[in-house]
RNA sequence: GCCCGCGUAGCUCAGGGGUAGAGCGCCUCCUUGGUAAGGAGGAGGUCAUGAGUUCAAAUCUCAUCGCGGGCUCCA
């Protein structure tokens, strides 16, 4: 019998008959890991543990051992195998309960924090949420039967025969499109399930212990709106019940922080049917926060040599044709309106307007760089189904800026932008920033504007800027805008979710389209470089992220009401009003609660509204000119004079502190 | 836009072919209480909108509007 030489990636080796399986080999090489392994990587390819060595090793050729590496739990690969196998289990349960169900695809999801896997199905009847627990129960029953996942390698025609016999037209289509001469299919023994699938899978259903079905939604076959709509069943799976539990907790926490709920509870903003979807009303509490955010930005923009501009919300359609938006972005713009035979369109971006200011007079190299900044409100015709609270809207304000500079200046300008972004994020408590450099792809079908040389120069400038600050960044090929490369910034919030916010984009396109010029040292006309840059991105969206990041408990400098003065009895109402007036005179936002409630109720009320400081005043305080200070997360922090409190609060506000503790 | 689900008081929600319900909030009165809910009373709803079925519709049907979950991540 022929034998195969096998070797663990970094160590032990053994010799086994070629009829042995990968699992057998692993057992010889490392007993512990063999036990844990979900699948294995053999000569670089992921395979099942049940795969026979003869598939890999040629006739016991000792010169080149077969390299084996277990796929272990707690790794990305391991999780993928686990979830993919759980998706199969889901399909098996659905087929069991609803014979005649047609299967679509059922992959594992690793990068979507909301879900772990899904399976698309067309069931004989419409599934509802009530079906999920029933399906999940059946999954558990099948899992408990310790059924092996079995793989068969068969010819394509054989596979087509099997699936058309089972009346699985979608699977047949997949096999036709993606299958080679031989294809692999997977069974779960003891269930009616069979799937066209590359694998690998866990060896046995008993490995699936911690999973949960989450939701049901619609999804098009192949994501194409012209294709039939299927039902997508989402679920997630982990290696241990504890991990699943922790994940579900985190999900609840995210729900608790939902900006739409907090927005209503804290009376921050609303969206009203009668006025239109995706349009935001900033209520007084939300407006206070926005004002503080914008004031901060203006302060920073000033320091960094930006100039403020204001531009219209609408412009002639011809302008948008010149900029190219009408042609390439027109579907996302509101339809034109006509006045005296001239068509106008609402602006979806601010760039052409800032260009208008640049072009309003001749520019010399001595004038550059020009940094025009504007809180520019734009309107985009987003599809109704994509709208979501503050995160996806139809009208929003960009903390926009456009930099016009010479090619020599651009590197420095980009450095300035990156510095700016990082500083701003830090102020709001986003310490972890993920940088992404999106560059031109080599062979994608996209049309890239601008010459090779220009791209090389631009990409190098962006990369150098990131390199020079020693940060890690991901370089993403082919993700650049058609008009130039860009850096995107993602922040991690308080519960570990990533949000894409700011962006710095190089633009080869608009300076050409608008024929921008400056007069150089040589007295000749040159084309300036243009950089688009936003920090928050959309102020609405950033506000939504902040609400969820802080869970509604804003730092003092942002809090709509910073101080609640709470008199214990009516006797001290007047004293409370005097304290409040004193603090207001110092610029603090203060409320007094004189309603006829006990102190406990007044505290609860302020606490629920997440007011940072409560000043409890009774006879003792009124006599001594003090206040008993309660901080929203620490509780009672003792009495102090009104003067001391005022100084402390002001210091917290002025320093834009993130926690309400004064460093002494 | 498309699929599924949902729309009852300011909010969260129960109910369901034949006088419209609860808790919280709001208003009034009593209570003046020292660190997360004192007590009593009251106001408040064309049951999203429109049409249909019915002796009778908040309830059943359809349409419209809105909201929510989604809409190709190696078979």
Range with lowest mean pLDDT among A331-335, A375-379, A442-446:
A442-446
Please give the protein residue whose CA is closest to the C1' of the nucleotide B69.
A217
pLDDT tens by residue, A114-146? 788 999 988 877 777 777 888 888 899 888 888
Residues A380/A333, Cβ–Cβ less than 8 Å:
yes
Is there contact between A664 and strand B, defined as CB under 7 Å from any strand atom? no
More confident residue, A271 or A642: A642
pLDDT value for A441 = 74
Rounded to whole angstroms, the distance from the CA of residue A394 to the C1' of nucleotide B63 is: 27
Closest CA to A535 of A420, A436, A438: A420
Q: How many CB atoms lie within 10 A of CB A1?
A: 6
Examine the pLDDT at A56 and tell me if it is beyond 80: no
Is there contact between A126 and strand B, defined as CB under 7 Å from any strand atom? yes
Residues 54-93 of chain A sitting with CB below 7 angstroms of strand B: 80
Is there contact between A114 and strand B, defined as CB under 7 Å from any strand atom? yes
Of all nucleotides in the shown strands, which has a C1' nearest the CA of A629? B35
pLDDT value for A663 = 61
Which ranges in A428-513 belong to alpha helices (H)? 452-468, 509-513
For chain A, the structural domain boundaries read 3-71, 76-254, 269-312+347-550, 563-654
Of all nucleotides in the shown strands, which has a C1' nearest the CA of A614? B35
- Total count of residues recorded for chain A: 664
What is the CATH code for A269-312+347-550?
3.30.930.10
Range with lowest mean pLDDT among A122-136, A283-297, A334-348:
A122-136
Please give the protein residue whose CA is closest to the C1' of the nucleotide B37.
A601
Q: Which of A142-156, A318-332, A360-374 has the highest mean pLDDT?
A: A360-374
Closest CA to A200 of A38, A427, A12, A418: A38
What is the CATH code for A563-654?
3.40.50.800
Local structure of A631: helix, strand or coil: strand
Rounded to whole angstroms, the distance from the CA of residue A151 to the C1' of nucleotide B60 is: 51
pLDDT tens by residue, A430-448? 988 999 999 887 655 566 7
Examine the pLDDT at A273 and tell me if it is beyond 80: no
Examine the pLDDT at A11 and tell me if it is beyond 80: no
pLDDT value for A69 = 85
Residue range A398-412: mean pLDDT, rounded: 94
**Nucleotides in chain B with any atom closer than 7 Å to protein CB:** 1-5, 11-12, 27, 29-38, 65-75
Average pLDDT, chain A: 89
pLDDT tens by residue, A473-524? 988 888 888 788 999 999 988 888 889 898 999 998 899 999 999 999 999 9
Full 3-state SS string of A369-399: CEEEEEEEEEECCCCHHHCECCCECCEEEEE
Is there contact between A637 and strand B, defined as CB under 7 Å from any strand atom? no
Residues A185/A158, Cβ–Cβ less than 8 Å:
no
Of all nucleotides in the shown strands, which has a C1' nearest the CA of A601? B37
From the options 3.30.70.260, 1.10.20.60, 3.40.50.1980, 3.30.980.10, give the CATH code of A76-254.
3.30.980.10
Is there contact between A198 and strand B, defined as CB under 7 Å from any strand atom? yes
Q: Evaluate whether the domain defined by A3-71 bears CATH number 3.30.565.10.
A: no
Examine the pLDDT at A59 and tell me if it is beyond 70: no
Local structure of A476: helix, strand or coil: strand
Q: How far is the C-alpha of A74 from the C-alpha of A43, rounded, in Å?
A: 21
Angle at A295 (CA atoms; ends A289, A299), nearest 5 degrees: 150
Q: Can you state the angle between helices A642-654 and A573-585, rounded to 10 degrees? A: 40
Please enumerate in sequence order all residues whose Cβ is within 8 A of that of A589, keeping only pairs 6 or more positions apart, or say none: A288, A559, A560, A561, A562, A563
Residue with tokens 């272990």, as numbered in its chain: A72
More confident residue, A294 or A221: A294
């Amino acid at each position: 019998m022929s034998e195969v030489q096998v070797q663990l990636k970094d160590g032990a080796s053994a010799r086994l008959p070629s009829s042995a399986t990968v699992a057998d080999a692993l057992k010889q090489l490392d007993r512990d890991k063999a036990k844990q392994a979900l699948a294995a990587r053999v000569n670089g390819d992921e395979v099942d543990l049940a795969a026979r060595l003869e598939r890999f090793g040629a006739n016991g050729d000792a010169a080149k051992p077969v390299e084996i590496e277990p796929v272990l739990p707690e790794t990305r690969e391991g999780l993928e195998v686990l979830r993919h196998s759980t998706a199969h289990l889901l399909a098996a349960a659905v087929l069991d309960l609803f014979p005649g169900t047609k299967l679509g695809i059922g992959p594992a999801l690793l990068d979507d924090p909301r879900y772990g896997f899904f399976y698309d199905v067309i069931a004989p009847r419409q599934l509802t949420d009530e079906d999920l627990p029933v399906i999940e129960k059946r999954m558990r029953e099948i899992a408990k039967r310790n059924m092996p996942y079995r793989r068969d390698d068969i010819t394509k025609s054989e596979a087509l025969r099997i699936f058309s016999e089972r009346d699985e037209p979608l699977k047949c289509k997949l096999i036709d499109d993606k299958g080679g001469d031989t294809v692999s299919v997977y069974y779960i023994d003891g269930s009616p399930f069979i799937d066209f699938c590359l694998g690998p899978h866990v060896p046995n259903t008993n490995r699936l212990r911690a999973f949960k079905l989450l939701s049901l939604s619609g999804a098009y076959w192949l994501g194409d709106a012209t294709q039939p709509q299927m039902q997508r069943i989402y679920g997630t799976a982990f290696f241990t019940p504890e991990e699943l539990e922790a994940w579900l907790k985190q999900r609840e926490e995210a729900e608790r922080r939902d900006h739409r709920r907090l927005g209503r509870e804290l009376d921050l903003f609303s969206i009203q049917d009668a006025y239109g979807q995706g349009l935001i009303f900033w209520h007084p509490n939300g407006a206070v926060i926005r004002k503080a955010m914008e004031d901060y930005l203006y302060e920073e923009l000033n320091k960094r040599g930006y100039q403020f501009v204001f531009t219209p919300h609408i412009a002639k359609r011809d302008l948008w044709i010149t900029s190219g938006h009408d042609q390439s972005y027109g579907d996302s713009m509101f339809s034109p309106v006509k006045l005296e035979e001239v068509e106008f369109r609402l602006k979806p971006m601010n760039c052409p307007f800032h260009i208008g200011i640049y072009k309003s007079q001749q520019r010399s190299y001595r004038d550059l760089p020009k940094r025009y900044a504007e809180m520019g409100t734009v309107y985009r015709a987003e599809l109704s189904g994509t709208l979501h609270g503050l995160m996806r809207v139809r009208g929003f304000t960009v903390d926009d800026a456009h930099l016009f500079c010479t090619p020599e200046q651009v590197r420095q300008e980009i450095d300035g932008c990156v510095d700016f972004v990082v500083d701003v994020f830090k102020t709001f408590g986003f310490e972890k920033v993920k940088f992404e450099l999106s560059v031109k792809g080599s062979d994608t079908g996209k049309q890239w504007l601008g010459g090779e040389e220009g791209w090389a120069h631009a990409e190098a400038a962006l990369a150098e800027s990131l390199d020079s600050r020693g940060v890690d960044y991901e370089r993403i090929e082919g993700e650049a805008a058609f008009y130039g490369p860009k850096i995107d910034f993602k922040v991690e919030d308080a519960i570990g979710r990533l949000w894409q916010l700011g962006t710095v984009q190089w633009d080869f396109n608009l300076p050409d389209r608008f024929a921008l010029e400056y007069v150089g040292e040589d007295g000749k006309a040159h084309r300036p470089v243009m950089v688009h840059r936003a920090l928050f991105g959309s102020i609405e969206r950033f506000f939504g992220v902040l609400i969820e990041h802080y869970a509604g408990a804003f730092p003092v400098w942002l809090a709509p009401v910073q101080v609640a003065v709470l008199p214990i009895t009516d006797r001290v109402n007047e004293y409370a009003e005097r304290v409040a007036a004193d603090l207001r005179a110092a610029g603090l936002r203060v409320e007094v609660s004189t309603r006829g409630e006990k102190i406990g109720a007044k505290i609860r009320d302020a606490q629920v509204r997440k007011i940072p400081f409560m000043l409890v005043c009774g006879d003792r305080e009124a006599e001594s000119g003090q206040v008993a200070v309660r901080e929203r997360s620490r509780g009672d922090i003792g009495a102090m004079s009104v003067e001391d409190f005022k100084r402390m609060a002001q210091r917290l506000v002025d320093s834009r502190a993130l926690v309400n503790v004064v460093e002494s």
